[in-house]
């Protein structure tokens, strides 16, 4: 049997980096059914509008869309169902304590396969204000312009 790549990206939440300051990241497992895993292997997942809450000592991910598996028939689950994240109790307590502070939230960053298991990178994040978003965009534009100028200069030499 061929060995699978160590990390194969399934879905990424690019909007999270635009909307939040990422303070700390965690790697979490996710509780899935068999047809959901098969659908993920086909790359059918979306993290848009998904969010994470800590309830009753468990981390739950809401609104993560995993398309139904085509050959799954009656075994398919609801595509937007709430799924449990697998974290250590200490990590859950730490996230819960931080979320209770004003301005902090937990957001999913990406879903990927790690040694054959589905993992979710989640982040403790603080919301950006509009002026912070503009500042970040300006910095990225400036960085791109400098890299482009540097590349042109190196090509002409």
Tell me the C-alpha to C-alpha distance, in Å, between residue 25 and each of 11, 65, 121, 138. 16, 21, 7, 25
Please tell me the total count of domains within the chain.
1
Q: What is the model's pLDDT at position 26?
A: 92
Q: List, for residues 65-92, the tens digit of each pLDDT value.
A: 888 877 767 767 777 788 899 999 999 9
| Residue 38 falls in which region: left (phi positive, over 0), alpha (psi -120 to 50) or beta | alpha
In a domain, 33, yes or no: yes
In a domain, 98, yes or no: yes
CATH number for the domain that contains residue 81: 2.40.280.10
Q: Provide the whole-model pTM.
A: 0.76
Q: List, for residues 108-127, the tens digit of each pLDDT value.
A: 999 999 988 889 999 998 88
In a domain, 41, yes or no: yes
In a domain, 67, yes or no: yes
Split at pLDDT 50, 70, 90, the class of 107 is: very high
């Amino acid at each position: 049997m061929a060995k699978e790549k160590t990390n194969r990206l399934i879905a990424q939440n690019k909007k999270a980096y635009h909307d939040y300051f990422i303070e700390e990241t965690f790697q979490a497992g996710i509780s899935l059914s068999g047809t959901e895993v098969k659908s993920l292997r086909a790359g059918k997942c979306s993290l848009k509008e998904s969010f994470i809450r800590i309830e009753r000592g468990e981390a739950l991910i809401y609104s993560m869309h995993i398309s139904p598996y085509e050959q799954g028939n009656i075994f398919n689950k609801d595509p937007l169902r709430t799924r449990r994240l697998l974290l250590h109790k200490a990590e859950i307590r730490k996230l819960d304590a931080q979320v209770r502070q004003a301005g902090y939230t937990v957001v999913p960053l990406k879903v990927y396969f790690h040694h054959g298991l589905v993992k979710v990178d989640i982040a403790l994040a603080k919301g950006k204000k509009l002026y912070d978003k503009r500042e970040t965009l300006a910095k990225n534009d400036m960085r791109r312009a400098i890299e482009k100028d540097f590349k042109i200069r190196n090509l002409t030499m």
